[in-house]
Structure 1
């Protein structure tokens, strides 16, 4: 693991650095930081959430113009407010707590972090345009768990804007919003059936070509504006989920962050809770279990305030999985118990349509993952079997659950049975464009390797290799 980047405070008063900030010359800044701290390009990139190759190009003279990337660099370098303002960014006026679980308790005394909803719209439009045009800056931004701290803090400390109306040249009304909702439902169905890679490009093109003009050129009053931003936030969250499913984690984080910002501007706390839960899901999957716990708790606080009990149960499940991945058995057991109790009293009739996936089968799968992570195959098997009593339209979910049950069989020292179940999962995964589904099977293959002398195991390993090809870096070892 790389040591954290430490930049001495006196550097920000250096004339060379101030000149670089005034000129927005990030390359000169990085070169000076590297000389002073002896930090490698990889270490600088890890601190600011950029790939080493992109840092190299910046240091060679490539300009950085994206406000989102400049914000990420300023946060990663822990710039003081004077340096931020020299770079043309708003001052922070505070240091951020690392524990998101304390956000709600602190929001009465913490000064708010100001940001206009129009800035969120502008950032979203820039991201969607970059995705469609495959701009290098979009592809090179890496995931950083710290990148979720500020938007989650803002969610709790800043009241939603009152005036989200706009006087544009194009009238926007309820039919436009209904269309976005229906398109989102269609894309979500395709995502569940075929994986995130199937329609991801189509979704980003729709956001860029259809949604951006509505947001930036539309004429709408504040109530319509809030409904519009809510609908767009839901679709943006789906775009983030698709990016996550295809292992494009930096893009996923940027979409989920923007989705949360747009939901905040819309005053949609129900959707905000779901987005925070998705952030927790991604953080835990990538091994950032502390952030996973904090984000899950933030989701739970939001769901509680919104009065949506099903979402509160989901937040407990996300927290439990983060605890299990961190091997904290007692905390996991407590969160799972809370999830069961909460779901028992939930009124599903009032739950939003997009929460339809959260049923008994989904809950059983998450329980199974928790017990698998804790090395308890007997309990894990019981829940993994239950998870297969599911809606067959969730093809990717069924591939996940079959892979889970196969993994449990390896833990129970039943490799032949694991291969038989794994083969079913492989058949479904071959029909999907999902890095997570493939990741489960690569992980299963690795776990079966010690049993390679068994014919069934050799055959299964050959099937995985022939169907999915060699493992690539984008396929993380699945944790969620």
Structure 2
């Protein structure tokens, strides 16, 4: 693991750095930082959330004009307010620190930037357009756990706008909002049945071509405006989930962040909690357990505020999974117990449609993942088997659960049973466009490798490679 990039405070007074900032020449800035600190392109990219290849092209002369990317660079480099101003960015109102490592989640000296809801719309529209046009500046974004710190802090500290109204050319009414929500429901159903890759770019195009003009040019009063932003936030969150499912993790992080901002502008605490839970899910999946715990707790607190008990249960089980990834068995089992109790007393009559997937089968699957992460395959197997009592419309979820069950069996030395169940998981995975489904089957393949001399295991491993491609 790379050491965090540390840039001394004196760097921002260096003549070469000041000249690069004044010209907004990010390539020259990166080259000078590399000279002063000895940082490689990979370390610089890791700090600012960009792929090494993109950093290399920037250092070779490629221009950076996106405010989104400039903000990410400024945050990752921990620029002083004077340096940010030279780059044309708003100040963070914080002193420049000698230790320029990425900020821990509990840091309180970094207040979020004051932004209007119109700026949130512009940021979201810029993301949709960049995604649709496959711009490198979007596609080369890398996931950074620290990238969730300021959005989560802003969620708790920035007040929702009083007036979300606009005098535009075209009147926006309830039918427009219902159309967006119906599109969300349709794309969510496709996502569950075929995986995120099936319609990810279709959702991005719809947001860019149909939704952005309504937001930017529409005429609406505050009540309609909030409902509109809530509907758009829901679809944006789904786009983030699809990007996450196909392993576009940096893009997914951008979508989740934009969704959280739109939910805040809409005053929709429930959707904000769901988005924070999704952010926790992604962080834990990528091995950032501490961030996963923090985001899950933020989601739980928000769900309590929204009065959605089912959502509180979901956030609690996300926290449990993050604890399990950190091998904290005591904290994990306590959270699992609380999640189970909370779901038992939940009133499902007021559950939003986007939360319909969270039920006893989903909870059992999360229990299974937790116990597997804790190295307890026998307990994990019991819950994985229980998770298969599920709605058949969730094809991707069933593929996950079958792979989980087979993996727990393989870990207990039951190779024949694991191959039989794994074959079902592979059949479903072959129909999906889901990097997560592929990863779970590959993990099963790894568990079976010690038994590959057995005929049935060897045959199944060959089938996996035939369907998914030979493993490198």
**TM-score bin (small chain):** over 0.9
Structure 2 CA distance for partners of 1:111 and 1:43, relative to 1, 3 Å: closer
> Are the equivalent residues in 1 in contact too, given 2:34–2:40 (CA < 8 A)?
yes
Matched, 1:442 2:442: yes
1:198 is matched with 198
Map 1:173-322 onto structure 2 (within 5 A): 173-322=173-322
Q: CA RMSD in A?
A: 1.4
Matched, 1:99 2:105: yes
Structure 1 runs (4+) greater than 3 angstroms displaced: 94-97, 109-113
User: 1:203 is paired with a residue of what secondary structure?
Assistant: helix
In structure 2, C-alpha distance between the alignment counterparts of 1:221 and 1:99, rounded to whole Å: 37
Map 1:121-160 onto structure 2 (within 5 A): 121-160=121-160
2:99 is matched with none
2:44 is matched with 44
Map 1:391-470 onto structure 2 (within 5 A): 391-470=391-470
In structure 1, C-alpha distance between the alignment counterparts of 2:18 and 2:300, rounded to whole Å: 43
Map 1:30-69 onto structure 2 (within 5 A): 30-69=30-69
Deviations 1:105-140 (A, max 9, x none): x7xx98553111111111111111111111111111
Give ranges in structure 1 of 5+ residues lacking alignment: 473-480
1:2 is matched with 2
Moved more, 384-393 or 335-344: 335-344
Deviation of the 1:460 alpha carbon? 0.8
Deviations 1:54-84 (A, max 9, x none): 0011111111111111111001100011111
Deviations 1:35-71 (A, max 9, x none): 0001111110011000011001111111111111111
Map 1:345-384 onto structure 2 (within 5 A): 345-384=345-384
In structure 2, C-alpha distance between the alignment counterparts of 1:455 and 1:69, rounded to whole Å: 52
Structure 2 CA distance for partners of 1:456 and 1:246, relative to 1, 3 Å: same
Structure 2 CA distance for partners of 1:110 and 1:20, relative to 1, 3 Å: closer
In structure 2, C-alpha distance between the alignment counterparts of 1:470 and 1:221, rounded to whole Å: 56
1:331 is matched with 331
> Are the equivalent residues in 2 in contact too, given 1:110–1:157 (CA < 8 A)?
no
> Are the equivalent residues in 1 in contact too, given 2:263–2:269 (CA < 8 A)?
yes
Deviation of the 1:471 alpha carbon? 4.1
Deviation of the 1:183 alpha carbon? 0.4
Deviations 1:417-454 (A, max 9, x none): 10110000000111111010011001111111110011
In structure 2, C-alpha distance between the alignment counterparts of 1:456 and 1:356, rounded to whole Å: 39
1:477 is matched with none
Deviations 1:364-383 (A, max 9, x none): 00000001111112211111
> Are the equivalent residues in 2 in contact too, given 1:113–1:157 (CA < 8 A)?
no
Deviations 1:399-422 (A, max 9, x none): 000000001101111011101100
TM-score normalised by the chain length of structure 1: 0.95
State the aligned residue count.
466
Deviation of the 1:99 alpha carbon? 3.3
User: 1:430 is paired with a residue of what secondary structure?
Assistant: helix
In structure 2, C-alpha distance between the alignment counterparts of 1:10 and 1:63, rounded to whole Å: 25
User: 1:392 is paired with a residue of what secondary structure?
Assistant: coil
Moved more, 296-305 or 18-27: 18-27
User: 2:146 is paired with a residue of what secondary structure?
Assistant: helix
Give ranges in structure 2 of 5+ residues lacking alignment: 96-101
Deviation of the 1:15 alpha carbon? 2.1
